[in-house]
Amino acid sequence: MIKYSNGKSYSPKQIKKSDDKKTVSLKRHLSSANRGMDLEGDINSSNEYYKEHDLCLITKRPTPINVVKVDYSKGAIITNAYFEKQSTTDYNGVYKGRYIDFEAKQTKSKTSFPLANISKHQIAHLKHVLEHGGIAFFIIEFVTKDEVYLLDAKYVIEFYENGNRKSIPYETFLSVGHKIKRGYAPRLDYLPIVEKIYVKN
């Protein structure tokens, strides 16, 4: 909890339960320093919003960790473990019965999204999702532009497998991507895009 000079205090819980405009702007102010650094947080809170409003159910896969040693004398404390590479994607879930699967990434580049931080395993996973009729995409943030796009996985797979390029040009996002609207709740409203491009048509 943060105490302010006016004697009022701020707590995240307070914000969650209140629609008060002042509280909202306070929260935005507090988080503006991290603008562009918290794509994951924005997606998680949007998913929470969608769940609470019965719009869809998307969950984040836990980070895979390889546990080497557990100390049971203190009630199962893990004392030796290491992070494993995610072989699938960060998010999946269900919308109107359909399977949804996506990965979220950020780039500081202004001109293109580098493919270096997408693994072969993730591309293989997304190809399988598409094969089985699932909805697969990326949510990619151009941090310095403060712009977030939804891009169907097939384009990323194409660029990844083409081999001539090591990045996807920004122009591709403008032409075949879909800009996601930022807001307060949900913070990244990507579901209307999913509805429009995958479900409605």
Smallest gap from Cβ 37 to its own copies, in A, equals: 19
Cβ distance to its own copies smaller for residue 104 or 168: 104
Distances (CA, A) of 137 to 110, 132, 143, 194: 21, 14, 19, 9
Q: What is the DSSP letter of 26?
A: H
Which one of 20-28, 33-41, 54-62, 142-150 is the stretch in contact with its own copies (CB under 8 A)? 54-62
Name the amino acid, one letter, at 158. Answer: E
Closest CA relative to residue 184, chosen from 5, 26, 2: 26
Distance CA 130, CA 59 (A): 19
SS3 84: coil
Strand-pair category, 167-169 with 77-83? unpaired
User: Between 14 and 53, how does the x/- string for binding to its own copies read (CB under 8 A)?
Assistant: -------------------------------------x--
Asked if residues 168 and 107 have their Cβ atoms less than 8 Å apart, the reply is no
Q: How many residues bind its own copies (CB under 8 A)?
A: 37
User: Between 130 and 169, how does the x/- string for binding to its own copies read (CB under 8 A)?
Assistant: -xxxx-----------------------------------
Could you say whether residue 54 binds its own copies (CB under 8 A)? yes
Near its own copies in 73-132, by CB under 8 A: 76-83, 88, 92-101, 125, 128-129, 131-132
Strand-pair category, 112-114 with 167-169? antiparallel
The footprint of its own copies (CB under 8 A) covers 51, 54, 56-57, 59, 61-65, 67, 76-83, 88, 92-101, 125, 128-129, 131-134
